[in-house]
Amino acid sequence: MMLSIENVSYRIGNFVILDQVNAEIRQGDVVALIGANGAGKSTLADTISGFLRPSSGKISLNGSSLTGQPPADIGRQRVSRMFQRQHLAWNMSALENVLCGLDTQSEVSWRKNLFRTYRTASFENEKRERATDLLNRVGLGTKAEMPARNLSFGQQRLLALARSLAHRSDLLLLDEPFMGLKSAALDLTVKLLREELRCGRLLLIIDHSLSIVESIATKFWFMEKGRLTSFSSFASLSGSEMFVRSYLGFGPGEKLRAAETTTNQSCSDLEVSLSIVNSQRKPGRAEVSEVAPPMETDSSFASYIPPTLLALSSLSGGYGSRVIIRNLTLNLLRGDVFCLLGMNGSGKSTLLRLIAGIGKCFSGSISLDGEVIDHLRADERVHKGIRLLLQDHRLFRNLSVSENLLLTAFSEESASMASTGMPLSFAFTPSSTYTNVLRDMQSGISGHDRRLAGTLSGGEQSRVAVKQLGYGRSKLLLLDEPTAGIDGIRKSELITLVKSWKESGLAIVITEHDVDFVLSVATRVAILSDGELDELASVESLTPDRLLLHGS
Amino acid sequence: MSSLTSYVAFILALVLQLALLAQATDLLAGHTGRTGLTASVFAGIAGYFYALATVNLLINPWIAVCLALVSTLPVSLFMGYLLLKLDAQGFLIATFALQVALVDLLRNLTLTGGPLGIRDVPAPSLFVFGGATAGSLLIAIPGLLLATIALTLTLGPRSDLGRLFHWIRDDSKSATAFGVHSQNLLLSAFTVHAIIGATAGISFVIVQTYVGPNSFDLWLSLNILAVVFLSGTGGSPSLMLIGASMLVCLIELVNFAPLRPESVGSLQKIIFNLLLVGILVFQRRGIGGPVLEANPSAEMAE
């Protein structure tokens, strides 16, 4: 078995996304594809799986050409794909989703379904057993009958992985398979992938979790501006200048230190040390343009600062009739960075959504700045200063990056006008938020201002979504897995940004699976388990044993 | 007594026809995510074909039924090939336009009798069963039985074909990535939908002994959609029979209202349109449909 990529390029107009890519995966290889956000990783996966046709070059699997074939034919030729986004059959149960992966292995027809035989029935039973087994192996055995839409983000990732594994393909293309997974689920996933390797499948993994891909991959591809370089070991990759420069964001003088660190430390240690070093460095010219403008804080801070910003009192809530958060009490002060850990499906995202006004509060109360906000709609809570960064970083994909940012400013304007009761058309005078957005656009802060948001890579979309949070008069930021899908440089930037928000007096609640990130920014840490909160005495008491105990 | 029996049989025929049309529409709307008005279009095409074959060409009614159903196949393949290239929203608008165009075409064609349509359409008979209502039931009863069995088997929880339809409905991109030829599967569903709609159309023409351009206009499509949403989109095909029964009973109740005869038709239309809006707003799942939500990630990827 072999996948061969020969001189593959992909361009949109004059914009080169893939530039003469040459590579191959042989039987037994597990390739980790690493690169900064927007380097072209997902585009390469799209050209292999047929969703994009290469401008030039050839891709072949086991000697037969895949170039120019429709994606369904390529999928049928034993290539399966796990997408960066949650591409699941939303209304079908977890079991049915996995069954779908198995269904594509055999002939499906009206005739076969209309004239069922004993053989058809027993084949269906076999498929159900295999699907149930796969669900058990990814830890979703108890969720088999639950619709995919009701699973948590991490559980949906596991389900997508189970479906990909069900498809008996020669080549598995996994785009961010570890995104949003907690350690217990991560262990299961890594174990599962190792088992799959024994079946002789080719594996291409795109992920930013360096410590995990280091432990599983046998070959490393690094992408920088559409060019691919292959490395035989993680040590050779992490010692290379291009990796240090474009992925970790170090200058040439700092290369030696990074390389030394790599040889002496494990990969996750490297991430911590680099992020800390990065956050301590004085910003250079390039970095100044990337740092978001200082958050506009409420001017009332100066006159009166109530001790508690957010107060949750005996809060219970969920979706429909399902209770997910139970009797939760929490007080947050200004400047608190409260990090929530917990296993997939423990209710972290639900808690953020309840505070933001999405979801149903069954009992208890939520107060912001001493004002009860239970009765307020989500948009009214935004006007009160609550901002939520969703896990899938939703942008208006058919608007440009600039337009997405301008919408944030417009929302701020309409909020302030709504409070004064003035009609929008008469009252519009550019505020500092609006001016900040325009200033950033003129200085090209986002790098892709005119591009449609939908054409950005997942990591780049995440950056724009985070940037949106930086504008306007906020009091409380709710960040749901903010590091998901972002590279090392962006993670360091995010750490700096969160610290600057904290300094400006904002309270921040973060759900996060990246413990290193948590240790870098948190002032308080709690573990959410089955909808109940267990706050740790200090951030330092966040030990591996403690995390394991809670399955986080 | 005899008139009561024929009245009940007439109502039964109407219920069966409406249930068939609703099943056809829901196969696309509820199970593959393409809501459209083509069921009444195919009912119209097959109904006219049957009427022309039996009245103008004097072909035996049974042979005409078979010819009408067979003729639906190439038409549905051609129309499906074009229409299924559209997304869900485009599909709805295109089928709406298609129905309006078809009605106007039939109204202006000499071959189809213009606005007056075709009268005295004969009915098929079998043994002692003859006449318009009986002939209509001879088509509608086995038609509905077969359609219900076929759709229940293919869309049920243990059917791989039904799962693939639902996968395409929820997220066609990932289905394609796993080797599912979405267009081919959708085209097969569209063809089956056309055959079921055509069966209802033929039965409808037989019971009325008449076919005209107004027989298959937007009013019929609105009735069909009302049955689909009342029964629950994407639910069990047999539920459509319950929804159709409820709707036809409501129509008949309005007939008994103490109103001037010319007001009855308008009142029926007002009631149904408001009923349709009410179901969509307050009871989206209908009697027994599943909860269907759009996948935000899949929408973003479109």
A86 to chain B: which residues are within 8 Å by CB?
Answer: 295, 297-298
Between residues B37 and A470, the one the model is more confident about: B37
Among A348, A390, A393, smallest CA distance to A477 is for A390
Q: What is the pLDDT of residues B207-249, one digit of tens each?
A: 999 999 999 999 899 999 999 999 999 989 999 999 999 999 9
Question: B275 Cβ partners below 8 Å, 6+ apart?
Answer: B226, B230, B250
Sign of CA dihedral B12, B14, B18, B20: positive
B192 touches chain A (CB under 8 A): yes
Judge: B154–A113 Cβ closer than 8 Å, yes or no: yes
Mean pLDDT of A20-42: 90
| B292: DSSP letter | -
Residue of chain B whose Cα is closest to the Cα of A82: B174
Judge: B176–A99 Cβ closer than 8 Å, yes or no: no
Between residues B1 and A143, the one the model is more confident about: A143
Mean pLDDT of B181-208: 96
pLDDT of A162 over the 90 cut: yes
Judge: B177–A116 Cβ closer than 8 Å, yes or no: no
The answer to whether the beta carbons of residues B18 and B221 sit under 8 Å apart is no
Among A16, A58, A489, smallest CA distance to A225 is for A16
B176 to chain A: which residues are within 8 Å by CB?
Answer: 71-72, 75
B298 touches chain A (CB under 8 A): yes
Mean pLDDT of A450-467: 79
**DSSP-derived pairing of the beta strands A476-480 and A386-389:** parallel
pLDDT band at residue A465 under the 50/70/90 scheme: confident
**CA pair distance A406, A307, nearest whole angstrom:** 33
Q: What is the pLDDT of residues B111-162, one digit of tens each?
A: 999 999 999 999 998 887 788 888 999 999 999 999 999 999 999 888 999 9
Task: Provide the pLDDT for residue A301.
Answer: 43
DSSP-H helix ranges across chain B:
2-29, 38-51, 61-83, 88-108, 132-155, 160-170, 172-177, 182-208, 218-231, 239-255, 261-282, 296-301
Judge: A89–B292 Cβ closer than 8 Å, yes or no: no
Between residues A94 and A340, the one the model is more confident about: A94
A233: number of Cβ within 10 Å: 13
Sign of CA dihedral A517, A523, A526, A531: negative
The answer to whether the beta carbons of residues B204 and B50 sit under 8 Å apart is no
* Distances from the Cα of A259 to the Cα of A139, A233, A264, A481, angstroms: 37, 14, 9, 29
Residue of chain B whose Cα is closest to the Cα of A85: B297
For B:215-234, CB contacts with A below 8 A are 234
B182 touches chain A (CB under 8 A): yes
Question: What is the nearest CA distance from A211 to chain B, expressed in angstroms?
Answer: 28
For residue A151, the one-letter residue type is L
Question: B92 Cβ partners below 8 Å, 6+ apart?
Answer: B34, B35, B36, B37
Judge: B174–A81 Cβ closer than 8 Å, yes or no: yes
**CA pair distance B281, B7, nearest whole angstrom:** 34
The answer to whether the beta carbons of residues A25 and A12 sit under 8 Å apart is no
B179 touches chain A (CB under 8 A): yes
Task: Provide the pLDDT for residue A273.
Answer: 37
Q: Which of A115-119, A331-335, B258-262 is predicted with the least confidence, judged by mean pLDDT?
A: B258-262
Q: What is the pLDDT of residues A139-152, one digit of tens each?
A: 899 999 999 998 88
pLDDT band at residue B67 under the 50/70/90 scheme: very high
A129 touches chain B (CB under 8 A): no
pLDDT of A258 over the 90 cut: no
pLDDT of A532 over the 60 cut: yes
Between residues A406 and A191, the one the model is more confident about: A191
pLDDT of A423 over the 50 cut: no
Between residues A273 and A57, the one the model is more confident about: A57
| B100: DSSP letter | H
Mean pLDDT of B173-194: 94
* Distances from the Cα of B270 to the Cα of A63, B264, B266, angstroms: 65, 10, 6
Between residues B95 and A481, the one the model is more confident about: B95
Residue of chain A whose Cα is closest to the Cα of B171: A89
User: Which H or E run contains A432?
Assistant: helix A432-442
Task: Provide the pLDDT for residue A468.
Answer: 80
Judge: A110–B290 Cβ closer than 8 Å, yes or no: no
Which among B158, B180, B188 is the nearest to A72, CB-wise?
A: B180
Compute the mean pLDDT over every residue in chain B, rounded to the nearest whole number: 91
Task: Provide the pLDDT for residue A257.
Answer: 45
> Rg of chain B over CA atoms, in angstroms?
19
A73 to chain B: which residues are within 8 Å by CB?
Answer: 179
Mean pLDDT of A72-90: 88
Judge: B160–A88 Cβ closer than 8 Å, yes or no: no
- Cα B278 from chain centre: 21
Size of interface A-B (CB pairs under 8 A): 130
Residue A444, burial from CB neighbour count under 10 angstroms (0-12, 13-18, 19+) = exposed
Mean pLDDT of A131-136: 94
pLDDT of A498 over the 50 cut: yes
DSSP-H helix ranges across A224-347:
234-238, 241-243, 255-264, 267-280, 285-290, 300-303
Q: Which of A255-259, A302-306, A418-422, B131-135 is predicted with the least confidence, judged by mean pLDDT?
A: A255-259
Residue of chain A whose Cα is closest to the Cα of B183: A72
Can you read off the two tokens belonging to residue B99? Answer: 């129905």
Q: Which of A280-294, A322-336, A505-519, B189-203 is predicted with the least confidence, judged by mean pLDDT?
A: A280-294
Judge: A99–B173 Cβ closer than 8 Å, yes or no: no
Q: Chain B interface, mutation test: which of A102, A108, A145, A175, most B Cβ atoms within 10 Å?
A: A108
pLDDT of A286 over the 70 cut: no
A99 touches chain B (CB under 8 A): yes
Judge: B153–A114 Cβ closer than 8 Å, yes or no: yes
pLDDT of A262 over the 70 cut: no
Question: B8 Cβ partners below 8 Å, 6+ apart?
Answer: none
A124 touches chain B (CB under 8 A): yes
Judge: B161–A108 Cβ closer than 8 Å, yes or no: yes
Residue A105, burial from CB neighbour count under 10 angstroms (0-12, 13-18, 19+) = middle
Compute the mean pLDDT over every residue in chain A, rounded to the nearest whole number: 79
Judge: B162–A113 Cβ closer than 8 Å, yes or no: yes
Judge: A72–B179 Cβ closer than 8 Å, yes or no: yes
| Torsional class of A361: left (φ above 0), alpha (ψ -120 to 50), beta (otherwise) | beta
Task: Provide the pLDDT for residue A48.
Answer: 93
Can you read off the two tokens belonging to residue B267? Answer: 């009142």
Q: What is the ipTM of this complex?
A: 0.90
Which among A77, A80, A103 is the nearest to B163, CB-wise?
A: A103
Beta bridge partners of A223: A35, A228
Task: Provide the pLDDT for residue B283.
Answer: 85
User: What is the reported pTM?
Assistant: 0.80
The answer to whether the beta carbons of residues A327 and A365 sit under 8 Å apart is no
**CA pair distance B72, A279, nearest whole angstrom:** 69
- Cα B177 from chain centre: 32
Mean pLDDT of A469-481: 83
Beta bridge partners of A15: A12
A117 to chain B: which residues are within 8 Å by CB?
Answer: none
**CA pair distance B43, B49, nearest whole angstrom:** 10
Question: What is the nearest CA distance from A233 to chain B, expressed in angstroms?
Answer: 30
Judge: B170–A90 Cβ closer than 8 Å, yes or no: yes
**CA pair distance B168, B51, nearest whole angstrom:** 37
pLDDT of A431 over the 50 cut: yes
Among A333, A331, A370, A373, smallest CA distance to A354 is for A373
Give the residue extent of every domain in chain B: 3-223
Range picked from A393-407, A471-485, B156-170 for highest mean pLDDT? B156-170
pLDDT of A531 over the 80 cut: no
Task: Provide the pLDDT for residue A425.
Answer: 45
A42 touches chain B (CB under 8 A): no
A127 to chain B: which residues are within 8 Å by CB?
Answer: 160
B150 touches chain A (CB under 8 A): yes
For residue A205, the one-letter residue type is I
Question: A406 Cβ partners below 8 Å, 6+ apart?
Answer: A434, A437, A441
Between residues A500 and B187, the one the model is more confident about: B187
